[in-house]
Amino acid sequence: KQEVTQIPAALSVPEGENLVLNCSFTDSAIYNLQWFRQDPGKGLTSLLLIQSSQREQTSGRLNASLDKSSGRSTLYIAASQPGDSATYLCAVWDAGGTSYGKLTFGQGTILTVHP
Amino acid sequence: GAGVSQSPRYKVTKRGQDVALRCDPISGHVSLYWYRQALGQGPEFLTYFNYEAQQDKSGLPNDRFSAERPEGSISTLTIQRTEQRDSAMYRCASSPTWNEQYFGPGTRLTVT
């Protein structure tokens, strides 16, 4: 059974810092990995999707890397801003079997960026 | 265009009552997924559909939970004889193919 772990559980930083969120998964047979942002009272917003054949994806100040063999992904946020404060969730899409489409999520990292 | 919508956004019900949660996916999306999220946790998979066919229901916790998507578009998740442990955020997502999933705002269910 796939298990996804995110470290740290919470992070508080001053505005302007570069930061790294970590995600690890136990089964490397994945189809893709997706990073989401969750704001209170709202849905999940997809930030980046990395296919299993890719090693990284970039969008603006966000960069996500994937090392499938070691079961790790990192989300790098450059020059953090107070508006980045949210919960960040990592999810993997298992390959094979009947579980196509099933995302397994980590528990999330709660990020607070202070002005 | 419109995103995934869910209704109701909030539902308070008494223990023992049945509830039906609705998901309206993005138009043309083939796949539809249901997840449940407890406070402080990531979402957990419940079930998913390709068109009207339920492909995987391994995440449904027990036989009080069921889902349907009769015309391959709108889906309903039904919980019979609700219990307090069913209280959670229920999230729906849709996807055009085996790719990026787009989530709705969720339905917050509270069973009193």
Report the C-alpha dihedral over residues B105, B26, A77, B42, rounded to 10 degrees: 50
pLDDT at residue B74 greater than cutoff 90? yes
pLDDT at residue A31 greater than cutoff 90? no
Interface size A-B, in CB pairs within 8 Å, comes to 71
Q: What is the DSSP string of B58-96?
A: TT--STTEEEE-TTSS-EEEEE-S--GGG-EEEEEEEES
Q: How confident is the model over A60-78, as a mean pLDDT? A: 96
pLDDT at residue A83 greater than cutoff 70? yes
pLDDT at residue A74 greater than cutoff 90? yes
Q: How confident is the model over A79-105, as a mean pLDDT? A: 86
* Among B40, B55, B95, beta carbon nearest to A98: B55
Q: Say if A73 is an interface residue toward chain B (CB within 8 Å).
A: no
Tell me the per-residue pLDDT of B41-55, one tens digit each, with 9 for 90 and over: 999 999 999 999 998
Tell me the per-residue pLDDT of B83-103, one tens digit each, with 9 for 90 and over: 999 999 999 999 987 678 899
pLDDT at residue A101 greater than cutoff 90? no
The residue among B43, B19, B26, B7 whose CA lies nearest residue B100 is B26
* Among B4, B42, B99, beta carbon nearest to A107: B42
Q: How confident is the model over A63-80, as a mean pLDDT? A: 96
- Contact list in A for residue B4 (CB cut-off 8 A) is 43
Looking at residue B103, its pLDDT comes to 93
Shortest distance, CA B40 to any CA of chain A (angstroms): 7
Tell me the per-residue pLDDT of B22-33, one tens digit each, with 9 for 90 and over: 999 999 999 999
pLDDT at residue A89 greater than cutoff 60? yes
For residue A29, what pLDDT band results from cuts at 50, 70 and 90? confident
What distance in Å separates the CA atoms of residue B82 and residue B99, rounded to the nearest whole number? 33
Pairing of strands A109-114, A10-14: parallel
What distance in Å separates the CA atoms of residue A105 and residue A92, rounded to the nearest whole number? 7
Looking at residue A42, its pLDDT comes to 81
For residue B40, what pLDDT band results from cuts at 50, 70 and 90? confident
Q: What is the DSSP string of A53-75?
A: T-SEEEETTEEEEEETTTTEEEE
What distance in Å separates the CA atoms of residue A72 and residue A70, rounded to the nearest whole number? 6
